[in-house]
Amino acid sequence: MTRKPNTEPAPASAAPVRAITKEDVARAAGVSHITVSRVINTPEKVSPETRAKVESFIASMGYIPNMLAGGLASRRTRIVAAIVPTISHSIFAETVRGLSEKLSEQGYQLLLGQTNYSETAETALVEAFIGRRVDGLVLTGVQHTARTRQRLKAAGIPVVETWDLTKRPIDMLVGFNNHEAGRAMGDYLINKGYRRMAFIGGEDPRGMARFSGMRDAVLAHGAQEPIHIKIPLGSFLHAGREAIGLLLREHPDVDAVFFSNDVIAAGAAMECIRRGIQVPRQIALAGFANLEIAPEVTPALTTVQISGHQIGLTTAEMLLARFNGLGVAQPICDLGYSIVEREST
Amino acid sequence: MTRKPNTEPAPASAAPVRAITKEDVARAAGVSHITVSRVINTPEKVSPETRAKVESFIASMGYIPNMLAGGLASRRTRIVAAIVPTISHSIFAETVRGLSEKLSEQGYQLLLGQTNYSETAETALVEAFIGRRVDGLVLTGVQHTARTRQRLKAAGIPVVETWDLTKRPIDMLVGFNNHEAGRAMGDYLINKGYRRMAFIGGEDPRGMARFSGMRDAVLAHGAQEPIHIKIPLGSFLHAGREAIGLLLREHPDVDAVFFSNDVIAAGAAMECIRRGIQVPRQIALAGFANLEIAPEVTPALTTVQISGHQIGLTTAEMLLARFNGLGVAQPICDLGYSIVEREST
DNA sequence: GTGAAAGCGCTAACAC
DNA sequence: GTGTTAGCGCTTTCAC
């Protein structure tokens, strides 16, 4: 006998000292624990009668397999970790929703981490998640510390970077070109006849890329260097409201503003309404991401359409393909972008 | 010799066949693996010299402990799972943010699940999370399937229900009384002189409780039975816009509307602006939750203040107290609510 | 202060 | 189709 049988009677308390194991179920059903394992993982390899018997005991005993032990033995946890700057603003929430939806279809769970736009926080989270032996890791952006990259290489797990593009991803990539998207909006605004531009946004790498793209377009057309107003992270609607106030006061000649996302732009739109400023006659406003608020606010926002939800879905599909041993033909997925014209420009 | 030493040379590939273990570090440092374990978990029990030596090897070898194995042996995973209806609307995102913030301070990670307001999805998630042997579980609401309750009892782990109140929680509870909050808003609107009320919201249990509280208040004052317009889940701003349109068309006598959250109310406010309807002169609008959008939209929304973020923080504190062996004196935490009066009523 | 032995609950590889 | 054996990498208990 290699294992001491559990001879003590079950305690009366609701919280058992010890959870039910495969061994317990096996003993009750009169089979070996490996048969119970097969009933759960590869039912087709067990005879129908044995299977039915074991399944009934699993149900009646309320057995829930310990995936910690399973993961340790099989080296597969069926957990994917996602690291986003913040979950509070709809920007990344849609990606998380897409990921969670798709992964749960195949029994994978999502471990979530927030960095507040800090690279060192990202590194710490990456190490914590590697320690949990997640099967895959999803990062936001393509800019990471050397240590993050090195840990990820050493761990050898599938990694997907998102929301941006680069020629040399760590592993896989699902995103769009922020610089090009910014340039497209700059071109659009120039073509609409606007000449004195401003950009209102935070200083995260992707926001900065959009600004720099817009700046390139504007300068290429011989217009003036755009004004850049930086806003703090956090309260986006309010920040947009304050920033547009500042801009109107200090740069009354500006005729078009590009925002690093629609929520900030919506805050600015609301402030313009409150002040009786005509949009786009006096000033044009353009957002980014085509979030839920963009078509709803007055005036409806011209914006750059990208799909946060689709980023989540595609990322999950790539990961699942790798988990299932299917190669991923194209490790870089450019989801593109497009300008959506509405009333605000 | 009880364990076969790892005699093969490390492979040249970036992704090692086998991750570095405590055993590897121990061998390099010339100590036993248990000493490495102590350096990580209880450094005060190791002599400073040994500790320094081991720590330098941990760093140089890039060792990351396998928490799966640790969790299996110690029966503590340092993972908390949270189950919310959806993460896409700021309502629960703030709670998740609070949880994640506070838990990560003590090295706990957050496993996230979404139910889309389905109780059976909740049950499946609860079982999956118990299988992962999470140290604690956070649920939204107090209404759960019998099976969920039974599984949770059997697992014997700390559970916190949130966003509502009940006399008999499964274990712990952090929330507020939705019925009372609805009644308070009903009283407020009556006191402001409104008489013909409507409620616009989804059919989740907490929204229904707010409606029923508001209805009680209105009927107690002898006013007419309020109209209830149900909206689909999903696009809240748009749903608010559509619902207010429907209401204005079919019930032009309504003078005040209570919404099940601020996002829906904001959508309605935007529609009123677009139609040139005077708020609150022609119709008053009141929201719920005091989300970021409430003070920003025009007109600024009267709402019921509650703190999703605080729910997350308090929930995390209760769980951590239990994990650390400190009893939780008061298992039910009523965070209360208050009416915030703004321009819309 | 340090180490040896035992086992957490499961799966992989190999028998029969 | 079913069972046996041998770990997965760690912590716990007990010994020194």
For chain B, domains (ranges, CATH) are 19-57 (1.10.260.40), 76-176+310-336 (3.40.50.2300), 178-305 (3.40.50.2300)
Model pLDDT, residue A89: 78
Q: Is the pLDDT of residue B8 over 60?
A: no
E-assigned strand segments in B101-252: 109-114, 136-140, 159-162, 172-175, 197-201, 227-230
Contacts of B269 by beta carbon, 8 Å cutoff, 6+ apart: B240, B279, B285, B297, B298, B299, B301, B344
Tell me if the bond preceding B65 is cis, omega within 30° of 0: no
Token pair 């748009």 is found at B238
> Which of B83-97, B180-194, B309-323 has the weakest average pLDDT?
B83-97
Distance A287 CA to C9 C1' (A): 53
Is the Cβ pair B270, A296 closer than 8 Å? yes
Give me the mean pLDDT over the B156-185 stretch. 97
pLDDT at A5: 36
- The pTM assigned to this predicted structure is 0.90
Residues in A touching B241 (Cβ below 8 Å): 296
Search chain B and give the residue with CA nearest A295: B238
Let me know: does B218 contact B251? Beta carbons within 8 Å. no
Report whether B285 contacts B344 (CB < 8 A). yes
Three-state DSSP class for residue B37: helix
Q: What integer best gives the mean pLDDT of chain B?
A: 92
- Nucleotide with minimal C1' distance from the CA of B133 is C9
Mutation site for B-interface testing, chosen from A83, A88, A120 by largest number of B Cβ within 10 Å:
A88
**Residue A82: partners with Cβ closer than 8 Å, 6 or more residues away:** A95, A96, A99, A110, A111, A112, A113, A137, A138
**What was the pLDDT predicted at A12?**
35
- Measured between beta carbons, the chain A residues lying within 8 angstroms of B71 are 68
Residue pair A218/A226 in contact by the 8 Å Cβ criterion: yes
CA distances (Å), origin B90, targets A14, A100, B154, B156, B280: 36, 17, 33, 31, 25
Residues 190-209 of A with CB under 7 A from strand D: none
**Residue B326 confidence (pLDDT):** 83
User: B72 CB near a chain A CB, below 8 Å?
Assistant: yes
Does B172 touch chain A if contact means CB atoms closer than 8 Å? no
* Regions of chain A where pLDDT drops below 70: 1-17
> Rounded to whole angstroms, how far apart are CA atoms A172 and B270?
41
Contact B100 A90 (CB under 8 A): no
Could you tell me where the beta strands, DSSP code E, fall in chain B? Answer: 79-84, 109-114, 136-140, 159-162, 172-175, 197-201, 227-230, 256-259, 284-286, 303-305, 332-334, 338-340
For B272-291, what is each residue's pLDDT tens digit?
999 999 999 999 999 999 99
What is the reported pLDDT for A81? Answer: 97
Per-residue model confidence (pLDDT) at position A306: 97
CB–CB contact B238 A296 (8 Å): yes
The 3-class secondary structure across B268-324, one letter per residue, is HHHHHHHHCCCCCCCCEEECCECCCCCCCCCCCCEEEECCHHHHHHHHHHHHHHHHC
Contacts of A67 in chain B (CB under 8 A): 131-133
Check pLDDT > 60 for residue B140.
yes
Please say if the pLDDT value at position B1 is more than 60.
no
Q: What DSSP line would sit under A98-157, residue for residue?
A: HHHHHHHHTT-EEEEEE-TT-HHHHHHHHHHHHHTT-SEEEEESS---HHHHHHHHHHT-
In the prediction, which pLDDT does A17 show? 58
| CB < 8 Å to A87, chain B | 87, 93, 96-97, 100
Amino acid at B253: D
On whether the CB atoms of residues B318 and B160 are closer than 8 A, the answer is yes
| B30/C15 CA-to-C1' distance in Å | 39
Q: How far is the CA of A73 from the C1' of C12 (A)?
A: 8
Q: What is the pLDDT of residue A327?
A: 80
Residues 210-229 of A with CB under 8 A from B: none
Split at pLDDT 50, 70, 90, the class of B327 is confident
Across the interface, whether the CB atoms of B238 and A292 are under 8 A apart is answered: yes
Q: Looking at CA atoms only, how far is residue B162 from chain A in angstroms?
A: 18
